Structure 1
């Protein structure tokens, strides 16, 4: 058995103050204690950042939150932190953010880190997303102009999942638009020996 690639052990923690109740994960038992500390710091920091973005200074904001593990294998951890803010008004607001981390080093990956320099991954992914928008007839607030270079994403099995926040490209009723892209469709531009190639087992 290759112990390097065993799933990371996760404990659920609770952040609770009046009007705020959030469940979030912490990792433990990693071979590299520095990486473990960095990963837990990034999770905790993002959890507080989301709550801060939801909290309204001029009204009472009730915030609840939880998390989902998307990938926990091959020394890679991909997860989302989601929180809902209820302001007593019309629509509550939800924010979902992802963290994608190398368990052996604690490095947090942005979308650009997955692809070769100069590969124009933004254009490539944008074209795939645009095709899925048309195919699925997703309602838009305005014409789709493409993803951001630091677009939200996570990884599930052999798929790169690109997603958008509420109101980012579509009306509230459409929820969070998610776009699943098989990694093999991007294989020619992914970093060799990088996270995506590791997830594909190549």
Structure 2
């Protein structure tokens, strides 16, 4: 298939190792997204792009999108998020954002369930909660949790995104985590 993918490159950092680490992970994520289209005989093209969500307080949050056309009713899209501690170049997990023993999964699951009900999001099955390593990114003073296509909702619903204002979960955010660095009380 024809592949046309635009992805970011981190440059001009004083710590070359952290910079290289982030760039390697960006390329790895891009390749992982492309590999999701594992039907090479059917895929006619794959196109990709990125969105910079946060670049402040030593936090870099970026999402990559890959869209593949199989010549069917609609193309398929995959999304991957990377949430870097710029000082180390490490991609941080959702779990690392919260205090140990905080039961962040239940707390976030309850907030997502309330939004599903309030926004009347159609589901494929009953919502049972987020996973401990749920997809996420950070924008402004908000944690965004998201699900891939068909994870919890039909294709027509798109990617279900759930914005969680950080003030709602401030008490369980780990000190010096990415969320702690970008959170501010208005």
Question: Does the pair score TM above 0.5?
Answer: yes
Alignment match of 2:52 (pick from 59, 66, 69): 69
What is the TM-score with the length of structure 1 in the denominator? Answer: 0.89
Aligned to 2:95: 112
Alignment match of 1:185 (pick from 168, 173, 183): 168
Unpaired stretches in structure 1, ≥5 consecutive residues: 1-17
- After TM superposition, which residue ranges in structure 1, 4 or more long, deviate above 4 angstroms? none
Do structure 1's residue 46 and structure 2's residue 35 form an aligned pair?
no
Q: C-alpha displacement at 1:197, in angstroms?
A: 1.3
CA distance in 1, matches of 2:57, 2:32: 28
What is the TM-score with the length of structure 2 in the denominator? Answer: 0.96
Q: Is the 8 A contact 1:55 1:61 kept in 2?
A: no
Do structure 1's residue 93 and structure 2's residue 68 form an aligned pair?
no
Aligned to 1:8: none
Q: Deviations over 1:107-128 (max 9, x none)?
A: 1111001001111100000000
Aligned to 1:147: 130
Do structure 1's residue 158 and structure 2's residue 130 form an aligned pair?
no
| Cα RMSD after superposing both structures | 1.2
Query: Quick one: higher RCO (CA 8 Å, sep 6+), 1 or 2?
Result: 2
CA distance in 2, matches of 1:176, 1:145: 17
CA distance in 1, matches of 2:39, 2:106: 36
Unpaired stretches in structure 2, ≥5 consecutive residues: none
Partner secondary structure for residue 48 of structure 1: helix
> Counterparts of 1:128-147 in structure 2 under 5 Å?
128-147=111-130
Partner secondary structure for residue 146 of structure 1: coil
